[in-house]
Amino acid sequence: MSDLRDKIAEHAYETTAPNGEEILVVDLAATERIACSFETQRRRVEVAALQAGIVPLRYERNLGTLGNQGQIALLEARVAVVGAGGLGGTVSELLARIGVGEMVLIDPDRYEESNLNRQLHSLEDNLGRDKAQSSRDRIGEVNGAVSVTSHVCRLDQENAHGLLSSVDLAVDCLDNVADRLLVAEVCASLGVPMVHGAVAGTMGQVMTVFAGDGELGQLYGSQDKGGGSHGAEIHLGNLATTVAAVASLQCQEAVKIITKTGEPIRHRLLLLDLALGSLETVDLS
């Protein structure tokens, strides 16, 4: 480890941060070279740099808010993004940019033309491609230090425990009630926190659920009740604006949980309606 830190220090250089402070940084090209010569993952180099007080340049604008310890916690976190469509595409992109070290992407679907209006990783030339794999490829372009595993399958009773057993957090980016309640149930049994998000038209909602919290069931009814698995989005559709807003709020919940800062939206439901310009948090306890 000291050899690695010595090598990072050798490549570090001083620069002036926006607040005028002189800081030591290491850039992308150097972290890539060091990772290659030490036969280790790039995020291991980034963590070692942060531990030595040297800032990987790509995260320099994160640190005023997150701090070195917060950035290290993110780089060492493993997050499942369940659903790689509208919410999932934007969530995985934002988590990669902020520097979450490992992601597990789960989605059985392929891109269709009707996805182009809102799903960030859908492109005119990747229609027909698996969403989970396309998001993995995109994350590789955004932040090559992130380790991504993609699973082209629907999360179900048989595979859910295996897919979620080793994650620190799951982000619910699903598009139906039944699968959400399954993820909530499995996360609860594994002690994994879950960040719920859902959209319909200009409306969206976000909530964080820890093991033992029952609010998602309260919101959607128990899985046994069945009932409609879809909501108002069937009539209202989904807009890119609402998807981006809700995905962003979900990612901030993930950051708060991983870095143990701020106050998660727990026992509460955050509701937004972009048509009204309204944002309210309601008590579910």
Closest CA to 282 of 215, 222, 184: 215
CB nearer another protein, residue 67 or residue 221:
221
CB nearer another protein, residue 27 or residue 109:
109
CB nearer another protein, residue 6 or residue 112:
112
Name every residue whose Cβ is closer than 8 Å to that of residue 168 and which is 6 or more positions away in sequence.
77, 78, 79, 192, 193, 258
Shortest Å distance, C-beta 226 to another protein: 13
Shortest Å distance, C-beta 249 to another protein: 14
Shortest Å distance, C-beta 223 to another protein: 13
Which residue type, as a one-letter code, is found at position 67?
Answer: G
Alpha-carbon torsion 205, 210, 213, 214, what sign? positive
CB nearer another protein, residue 144 or residue 237:
237
CB nearer another protein, residue 29 or residue 232:
232
CB nearer another protein, residue 98 or residue 199:
199
Shortest Å distance, C-beta 201 to another protein: 6
Q: How far apart are CA 186 and CA 28, in angstroms?
A: 38
CB nearer another protein, residue 68 or residue 238:
238
Shortest Å distance, C-beta 107 to another protein: 10
Q: How far apart are CA 12 and CA 7, in angstroms?
A: 9
Q: Which residues bind another protein (CB under 8 A)?
A: 83, 85-88, 172-177, 180, 197-205, 218-220, 228-233, 235-236, 238, 271, 273, 276, 278, 280-284
Q: How far apart are CA 14 and CA 54, in angstroms?
A: 9
Shortest Å distance, C-beta 224 to another protein: 17
